Amino acid sequence: MQRGEELYSGKAKSVYLTDSDDSLILLFRNDTSAFDGEKIEKLDRKGMVNNKFNAFIMQHLEEQGIATHFLQTLSDTEALVRRLDMFPIECVVRNVATGSICKRLGVEDGIDLALPTFEFFLKNDELHDPMINEFHIRSFGWADEEAVEVMKERTFKVNQILSKLFADAGMILVDFKLEFGRQGDEIYLGDEFTPDGCRIWDADTREKLDKDRFRKGMGGVVEAYEQVAERLGITI
Ligand code: TMP
Ligand code: ASP
């Protein structure tokens, strides 16, 4: 599949047209961003590690019955995906309280939640991705009722599948963000699942193995991503 014109360039990935109207190519770059694009650095190997990580997770989810946009790996840093009309919404599930929820609700960092919790955010960097609810989504027409239900249900299902995958490899899936889109009548999981968009802790030491290392200037960012990949059996 030939890479055509660039359709869109995000903070960490670029999206290209292909010779088919139904597919796109994702290029995973080394750029790493935090705080809605305020802090951006290039981290060697990150594009390749994230492309392979994402391919493994998307394929695992497909095997477990989740429809994803992933079609095939094209190169070290490129993947072929279905072309979706994306909902401008981020779906977050949390198993442990950390990050923005602690600031917002004044709860202690690191508390295991009695039940996984769910939040919608509007995808808008200028507004710092404000939290929204189902009424906002419906009132402003960002998605219809059916899509809202599908996004919630699938995000919880992904949580079940991936919490087990990480737990079996001695890690805790603390929280993560998913984005969905539509092709025709079908809703698919889009975007990516990599340590850029989730939190993963070592189960014994609770050491951070995700993008919080970058946000907090802890170093060893890509090394941590590679450690997670290796523990999941992903060959980089
Ligand atoms: P938060 O604690 O900053 O709200 O983030 C919760 C999880 O969702 C965390 O794993 C990071 C991920 N996330 C993104 O990757 N991008 C985003 O824009 C947001 C709001 C969250
Ligand atoms: N959307 C955010 C950003 O890349 C994710 C983060 O907070 O790191 O700026």
pLDDT, tens digit (0-9, with 9 covering 90-100), for 97-120: 999 999 999 999 999 999 999 999
Distance 221 CA to ligand 1 centre (A): 17
Q: What is the pLDDT of residue 16?
A: 98
Ligand 1 lined by 90 (C-beta under 6 Å): yes
Determine the Cα–Cα distance for residues 198 and 87; give it in Å rounded to an integer: 19
Instruction: Compute the chain's Rg from CA coordinates.
Output: 17
Whether the Cβ atoms of residue 82 and residue 23 lie closer than 8 Å to each other: yes
Pick the atom of ligand 2 nearest to 33's CA: 4
Ligand 2 lined by 136 (C-beta under 6 Å): no
Architecture of domain 88-220: 2-Layer Sandwich (3.30)
* Topology of domain 6-82, CATH: Phosphorylase Kinase; domain 1 (3.30.200)
Question: How does pLDDT run across 62-82, given as a tens digit for each residue?
Answer: 999 999 999 999 999 999 999
CA 63, 50, 70, 141 torsion: positive or negative? Answer: positive
Report yes or no on whether pTM surpasses 0.85.
yes
Ligand 2 lined by 54 (C-beta under 6 Å): no
Listed by start position, the domains of the chain span: 6-82, 88-220
Secondary structure (3-state) at 34:
strand
Secondary structure (3-state) at 2:
coil
